[in-house]
Amino acid sequence: MNDRRVGTALNAAVRQRNYRRARDRALAKLAQIYPETYQDLLQREKESDEQLGKKWLDIDGTTGTSVVVETSRDGFTHWSKSGDGSSHKGDNGGEA
């Protein structure tokens, strides 16, 4: 009985994954055929989501916050993150 449930769940997961893949391919084709319409609709959705407080990734994969990683002469990695006014140091030799 338990194996049957697992099999049913796996089949449902595969069907959902295949549907998402087909939907993504169709969306990509539509975006190539109608690029201006696609960009307009995408901008509208972005504005709508931002009004609800949801963040979007930019085309380059950022949310507007950048992270800078530098390695100093002492060999330690130092991190700084823009957007929140703070800077964070990476692992500093295991210090707590």
Q: What is the pLDDT of residues 38-62, one digit of tens each?
A: 899 988 998 999 899 888 776 665 5
25 pLDDT above the threshold of 50: yes
Compute the residue count for the chain.
96
Q: Which pTM value belongs to this model?
A: 0.46
Residue 88 phi/psi, 5-degree rounding, is: -125, 140
Domain ranges of the chain: 1-56, 57-90
Would residue 89 be called left, alpha or beta, if left means φ above 0 and alpha means ψ between -120 and 50 degrees? beta
Q: What is the pLDDT of residues 1-20, one digit of tens each?
A: 688 888 888 899 999 999 99
Rounded Cα distance, 3 and 49, in Å = 41
What proportion of the chain, given as a percentage, has pLDDT over 70? Answer: 58
